[in-house]
Every structure is written in C-alpha cells, then in structure tokens.
C-alpha cells in the first residue's frame, strides 16, 4: 500500500462542502469516485480540514492510500481527468510515509476572506467574494481584529452545530488589508471552529459599517454566547489557503 499526499484546488459553489454528504455533492465524494474509477478501490480521501458549503480551496491538502501500484504523476493526471466536469484540480501529488496524515499531522491552517466593497454588482466574482455595498472603515476593522488574536473561548463565533470538544482556540493571525475596492482578511490558527472565520469576519464588517464598535466585539467575545453574534458572513468569499506541516 502507498500513501499519496494531494494538493487540491476547488470552486466550492457546486458542493455541500469538503466532506461527503448524504444530501448533496461534495469534494470528497467526487475525488473518491475518481479514485474508484481509476483503481477499483473504495477508499477514503482524508483532508487537512473541512469546509462549509460554498467555501473554496486554493491548496487543500489531503491523502489517499492505494493498493494498486501507480506513480504519483499518473495518479494526478487520472484524477484530474476523472473528476470532470466538477471544478476540482489536483495540483500536486507525491508518495509520503505511512505516518503522514493530512489532518493529524497538520500543525496550522490558513484562510483568506475576500470582500468586494462597491455598489456595482459582481460579475465574474459572483460567488467568489462577498459584496458589501456600504463603505467600510477598514482601519477600524483592522484595529478590532487584533482583539481576537490569541487564546480565547470563541463560543460566540462557533456554530451551534460545531462538533469540536472545546470552544477554546488560539488565533495566530487575523489581518485586514484594503486593496482598492477589495478588502482581504487573513486568518491563521492551528485549527478553527465550525463557522469561526465567517463569524469573525461578519462582526468585523459590522464594525466597518459603523453598526458596531470595537467594544461591542470585545463584549461579544467575553459573553461566550452564540446569541451575541453580530453577523455570520456568507461562504462566498472564504478560501482555504494552506495547511502547514
């Protein structure tokens, strides 16, 4: 048996998320079906993390174990042919030791959230960014983001459906940058709670709109109460950027 590490890019719009679902298509299912079509083996493709419906991947890391003898380049080429027409691409593939695990060996995960701050409707970026027509004060957003960096109980920013054992996480990076009409938010941590990034971004946007202050964000964090969340940003602008090993 050989373990292969995959780097995967995908457009999340057609999918219910990374993980195989009974009620709709997933990235995992598409890849596992492609592996079966190539090798005849029913096996799991394990990823560094899960993504919600509509969330995108720039460089998701995953692994798959195969009994069939195949080299990494041929596996990558076959999977890219067999996942069509799903918007998934395996951009790298290599054999790795059996002890390497896409999820459990991962020591950090990074996401990027993209906002387009303009009144004109989105065209090619529709579904790939969150359009906020109101002017955003990105300086206020950046100042407030720093309040969430560090180790906290993120219950307020956690989905009620989150299955994590603890709401405590250490947020290593949470940066806001304006590039013209685009607002880019970078988040990095060892791991994230379900909806954590989207919830934090939504509250920053409320600050940028002038509907919340930094004190409101701090109070919401301290409340440890999901009912105190200001806004959960849509999945459209969220991208899994990288996994760190």
Instruction: List residues with catalytic annotation.
Output: 52
Whole-angstrom Cα Rg for the chain: 19
**β 108-116/2-10 pair status:** unpaired
Nearest residue to 237 via CA among 205, 193, 210, 191 = 205
- Residue holding tokens 């105190």? 228
Phi-psi sector, 127: left (phi>0), alpha (psi -120 to 50), beta: left
The 8-class DSSP code of residue 18 comes to S
**β 108-116/88-96 pair status:** unpaired
Helix (H) or strand (E) holding 202: helix 196-209
Axis-axis angle for helices 214-223, 138-145 (nearest 10): 30
Specify the 3-state DSSP secondary structure of 136.
Answer: coil
The DSSP line for 91-113 is: EEEEEE-TT--TTTT--EEEEEE
């Amino acid at each position: 048996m050989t373990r292969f590490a995959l780097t995967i890019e995908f457009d999340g719009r057609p999918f219910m998320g990374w993980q195989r679902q009974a009620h709709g298509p997933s990235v995992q299912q598409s890849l596992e079906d492609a592996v079966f079509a190539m090798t005849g083996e029913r096996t799991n493709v394990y990823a560094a993390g899960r993504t919600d419906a509509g969330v995108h991947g720039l460089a998701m890391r995953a692994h798959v174990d195969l009994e069939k003898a195949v080299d990494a380049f041929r596996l990558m080429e076959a999977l890219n042919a067999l996942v069509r027409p799903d918007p998934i691409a395996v951009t790298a593939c290599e054999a790795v030791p059996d002890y390497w695990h896409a999820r459990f060996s991962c020591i950090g995960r990074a996401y990027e959230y993209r906002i387009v701050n303009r009144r004109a409707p989105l065209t090619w970026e529709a579904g790939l960014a969150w359009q906020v027509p109101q002017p955003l004060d990105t300086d206020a957003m950046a100042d407030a983001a720093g309040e969430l960096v560090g180790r906290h109980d993120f219950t307020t920013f956690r989905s009620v459906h989150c299955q994590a054992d603890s709401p405590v996480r250490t947020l290593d990076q949470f940066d806001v940058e304006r590039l013209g009409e685009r607002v880019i938010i970078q988040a990095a941590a060892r791991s994230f709670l379900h909806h954590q990034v989207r919830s934090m971004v939504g509250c920053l946007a409320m600050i940028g709109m002038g509907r919340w202050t930094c004190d409101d964000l701090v109070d919401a964090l301290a409340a440890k109460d999901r009912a105190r969340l200001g806004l959960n940003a849509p999945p459209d602008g969220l991208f899994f950027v990288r996994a760190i090993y």
